Amino acid sequence: MLPQVRLRKHRPGDMGWVVQRHAELYWDEYGYDERFEALVAGIVAGFINAFDAKRERCWIAERNGRRLGAVFLVKKSAAQAQLRLLIVEPAARGSGLGKRLVRACIRFARGAGYRKLVLWTQSELAAARGIYEKAEFQLVRRQAHESFGKPLKGEYWELKL
């Protein structure tokens, strides 16, 4: 674990960073085009515009004022929440930060009374998939699709709380 990394609630400026870093990292690492950036921007806008502080949360991981990662928990229904937009900066990968962010989501979801936590990811995102597997999410469905300028295999995971 990186020393002195704290998880905090979102504040102004964080959402722009989330969109920018997703766009840059997914372009550099996976070749996702600007449609991925648009998807992330839409998720972030929806989160802010309909934010329910009792049932939803965004965690920003930072050390010495520098953002190192983020994750969102959003309400899908009274019984179901969705983990979204997990990101960890390359310099912080392998430190356990991704696992820590996912654990924060799970704890919050349980405390908020959700019965199930779901997520959607892509098969090529091996590190994220490993985190979800270790957190005991179950892969429930795969679906091939063409998105972000390339063919992908979407995966739907869930965790019964």
**One pLDDT digit (tens) per residue for the chain, 161 residues:** 556 899 999 999 999 999 999 999 999 999 999 999 999 999 999 999 999 999 999 999 999 999 999 999 999 999 999 999 999 999 999 999 999 999 999 999 999 999 999 999 999 999 999 999 999 999 999 999 999 999 999 999 999 99
Neighbours of 35 (CB within 10 A): 11
Q: What DSSP assignment string belongs to 122-143?
A: ETT-HHHHHHHHHTT-EEEEEE
| DSSP conformation class of 92 | G
Give the up-direction half-sphere exposure of residue 70: CA atoms within 13 A in the CB hemisphere. Answer: 23
HSE-up of 149 (CA within 13 Å, CB side)?
Answer: 11
What's the CATH fold of domain 6-160?
A: Aminopeptidase (3.40.630)
Q: Where are the domains of the chain?
A: 6-160
